[in-house]
Chain A
């Protein structure tokens, strides 16, 4: 089986769950012996410390730069070829009528002095406050053309496209190559927009789902949205849950020096955007602080609502108890997990939610929104409706006050999380591919 995969971010440049999932799944597929040509939009050139380069072993992309950071990652793959496409796409960007959710705020928070870099295609993320503008959809179409151009050198059985920005490319490649298209839905416009749906994005998602022979949804929650809002035949939608990287588990065992502290720490880690429910986290924090004093709330992540949340915490009079760290990666993520007594994911709409699995691998108990895919499969977790702020606070207080609760959650949770293997997810994907080919 050979797959032409239209994916996203690879380490170390991973800014969210989509990249984590694409990488984990690709590695799982590699291990079960599936050949993959992985098409990766080239990350935007900017002032980021890590100089991310695309490994492009095939001569088709000759002329690209030397590829240092990816080399180690790619060398462990036996069946994967990574092909870079020079397209400036950010999977977490929003169209021009909305502020860019991700890149912009990070620049503001971390490096306001960085001057804009000249960029050939798009200005995305290059200067504070920059937006996609009308370029977003043009860029998606350009990406589709570039990706399609790669196809002439390739033979494969299935085209696998991850999330809407790659769907147009997927449709085009499937049409030209006469191979079945599988679209993988990691999130929908309904999750991201809070039902203020952007019609153009919806149309692309819908076109991708209808053109696809099979659809992979990351949870039943997502499957239901696909069926309800996109008019898709339920028989062609499978659920494949996300998993957790084994390497991460090993990593987390290496001890970092302990951090001395008196206060309990409750952690929010994720993009600070509407979809992730940061304001519910703050509202719960306020309630917790009514009955407990020795607790701090850490909000780690970037996003379009960072400034609003800083203001909101101040308005609520709990500013001194809430810490904003900006976007964290690598050892900083491990460190913040190591400090945390509880990880909270109050998402308004979370198709899956890999971060709670990461927390569990770091021995941090989790409180997750019932409006998440991961809540379907995780039993050793506390669950709450994202809007039920009192109950969220009730559960936070319980974990902080009762060490046996924390210990039991941790003990069972760290065992349960080992059940989520990318190799199992890959095996399920392989079945989906086989079905897609079989029903041709």
Chain B
């Protein structure tokens, strides 16, 4: 028997427009591109995938259950450019089989730079979930599954008893992500991503060079069954854009999703649980000690996607250095612009890792090079700083 836990991340940044040092106008975001990208993904992924999920919940009478984490930046853009996406999520919320998780509203790296800002953004996100879905999230996931012991403590301080993180091999050692663990010195239960099975769907599904291609629901259900006897949970954490955008509809990804719940539930004792249900149902099997930051990004599973070079750390440092002055200014628009600049994607675009073959970093990346992205960001920041004077 195994409990399968699906959690889908949904986020779209507010991409910056081209902003040269000679710009005067304090309009930073590329409304046209952001709107076009959001509508495109809504049509290819969010709406059709929500339809499939909704059908599955109905078909299996609530035995198929999933969790979502929607960033505030994503929701705002939906409200502006594709309100039908919000309606669709609200309908899912009404089924009672969908859980919404807490995270930073701006999909930011604020935990690393400002605890005040971090707390503010999590609270603001919770309020948004309450307003949209009538749910108060009780499970926390930090931006890009960035995690360490300190984040568990901070989440506990905010009242969360469950936190999601990456099942990083170098920390797990011989242990398995099929168990729940506790963060040292807290009661916080940790749900660890089973990255092999998650990535089989998210990254390898349509890869013809993969030995297990093509992936069928039956085959995947069998792999889930392999957990039996060595644990009890299979945490499938991935970007929601996997369905229809990263893996296009013609790869058969939606059919796979349609067939998977039946194939899983066919085996006796198997079920689907949301993160909070897992946490309530299963005990901790010990401590998972994470002194250094981990994440779900790239092969390194660390912070190097956002803090791998001097430009990235410079941009982040300069941004957060403005915090006291921005907050003292009492200028709401300035504060909002500053917060939108905290979205982690801006720094991800500056990554020089594997340049040339870093295809993942290219995804909806508006820049030709990480250098262009840094220059653009710093010009915007320069303008923002100018507004303080």
A402 within 8 A of B: yes
Q: How many residues of B contact A (CB 8 A)?
A: 19
**Alpha-carbon distance between A402 and B375 when the two chains are bound, in angstroms:** 9
Instruction: Kindly report which residue of chain B lies nearest to residue A367, judged by CB atoms.
Output: B371
B230 within 8 A of A: no
**Alpha-carbon distance between A404 and B307 when the two chains are bound, in angstroms:** 12
Contact call A407/B310, Cβ cutoff below 8 A: yes
> Which residues of B in the span 9-29 have a Cβ within 8 Å of any Cβ on A?
20-22
Chain B 333-361 interface mask (CB, 8 Å, partner A; 1/0): 00000000000000000001001100000
Minimum C-beta distance from A46 to chain B (A): 44
> Which residues of A in the span 224-253 have a Cβ within 8 Å of any Cβ on B?
none
Contact call B369/A394, Cβ cutoff below 8 A: no
Contact call A393/B374, Cβ cutoff below 8 A: no
Interface of A is mostly: helix
Contact call B310/A380, Cβ cutoff below 8 A: no
Chain A 393-424 interface mask (CB, 8 Å, partner B; 1/0): 11101100110110111011000000000000
Minimum C-beta distance from B76 to chain A (A): 29
Contact call A398/B21, Cβ cutoff below 8 A: yes
> Which residues of B in the span 277-326 have a Cβ within 8 Å of any Cβ on A?
309-311, 313-314
Which of B20, B21, B313, B368 interacts with A383 by CB under 8 Å?
A: B368
Chain A 324-353 interface mask (CB, 8 Å, partner B; 1/0): 000000000000000000000000000000
B378 within 8 A of A: yes
**Alpha-carbon distance between A235 and B229 when the two chains are bound, in angstroms:** 61
**Alpha-carbon distance between A290 and B22 when the two chains are bound, in angstroms:** 9
Given contacts A394-B379, A405-B311, A407-B310, contact A382 B371 (CB under 8 A): yes
**Alpha-carbon distance between A411 and B309 when the two chains are bound, in angstroms:** 10
A391 within 8 A of B: yes
**Alpha-carbon distance between A398 and B20 when the two chains are bound, in angstroms:** 10
Contact call A390/B20, Cβ cutoff below 8 A: yes
Instruction: Kindly report which residue of chain A lies nearest to residue B372, judged by CB atoms.
Output: A382
Given contacts A394-B379, A402-B378, contact A408 B369 (CB under 8 A): no
List A contacts of B368 (CB < 8 A): 383
Contact call A408/B375, Cβ cutoff below 8 A: no
Count class of interface residues, chain A: 20 to 34
A379 within 8 A of B: yes
List B contacts of A290 (CB < 8 A): 22
Contact call A404/B314, Cβ cutoff below 8 A: yes
Contact call A412/B352, Cβ cutoff below 8 A: yes
Contact call A393/B21, Cβ cutoff below 8 A: yes
Contact call B369/A383, Cβ cutoff below 8 A: yes
Given contacts A379-B369, A380-B352, A398-B375, contact A391 B313 (CB under 8 A): no
**Alpha-carbon distance between A207 and B112 when the two chains are bound, in angstroms:** 65
A287 within 8 A of B: yes
> Which residues of A in the span 245-304 have a Cβ within 8 Å of any Cβ on B?
287, 290-291
> Which residues of B in the span 196-240 have a Cβ within 8 Å of any Cβ on A?
none
Minimum C-beta distance from A297 to chain B (A): 17
List B contacts of A395 (CB < 8 A): 375
Minimum C-beta distance from B218 to chain A (A): 43
Given contacts A380-B355, A405-B371, A408-B311, contact A398 B22 (CB under 8 A): no
Contact call A391/B20, Cβ cutoff below 8 A: yes
Contact call B369/A402, Cβ cutoff below 8 A: no
**Alpha-carbon distance between A394 and B371 when the two chains are bound, in angstroms:** 12
**Alpha-carbon distance between A435 and B22 when the two chains are bound, in angstroms:** 53
List B contacts of A382 (CB < 8 A): 369, 371-372, 375
Contact call B311/A394, Cβ cutoff below 8 A: no
Which of A287, A390, A404, A409 interacts with B313 by CB under 8 Å?
A: A404
Contact call A291/B375, Cβ cutoff below 8 A: no
List A contacts of B379 (CB < 8 A): 394, 398
Given contacts A394-B375, A398-B375, contact A408 B20 (CB under 8 A): no
Contact call B355/A379, Cβ cutoff below 8 A: yes
Which of B22, B310, B356, B378 interacts with A408 by CB under 8 Å?
A: B310
Minimum C-beta distance from A126 to chain B (A): 46
Instruction: Kindly report which residue of chain A lies nearest to residue B370, judged by CB atoms.
Output: A408
List A contacts of B378 (CB < 8 A): 398, 401-402, 405
Instruction: Kindly report which residue of chain B lies nearest to residue A398, judged by CB atoms.
Output: B375
List A contacts of B22 (CB < 8 A): 287, 290-291, 390, 393-394
**Alpha-carbon distance between A382 and B314 when the two chains are bound, in angstroms:** 18
Minimum C-beta distance from A342 to chain B (A): 12
**Alpha-carbon distance between A397 and B375 when the two chains are bound, in angstroms:** 9
Question: What are 21 residue pairs bridging A and B, where the CB atoms are less than 8 Å apart in the complex?
Answer: A287-B22, A290-B22, A379-B355, A379-B356, A380-B352, A382-B372, A383-B368, A391-B20, A394-B20, A397-B21, A398-B21, A398-B375, A401-B378, A402-B311, A402-B374, A407-B310, A408-B309, A408-B371, A408-B374, A411-B310, A412-B355
12 more A-B residue pairs beyond the given contacts A379-B369, A408-B309, A412-B352, with a C-beta to C-beta distance below 8 A: A290-B22, A291-B21, A291-B22, A380-B352, A382-B372, A397-B21, A402-B378, A405-B374, A408-B311, A409-B371, A411-B310, A412-B355
Question: Residues of A at under 8 Å CB distance from B?
Answer: 287, 290-291, 379-380, 382-383, 390-391, 393-395, 397-398, 401-402, 404-405, 407-409, 411-412
Ordered nearest first, which 4 A-B pairs have the shortest CB separation? A404-B310, A404-B314, A398-B375, A394-B20
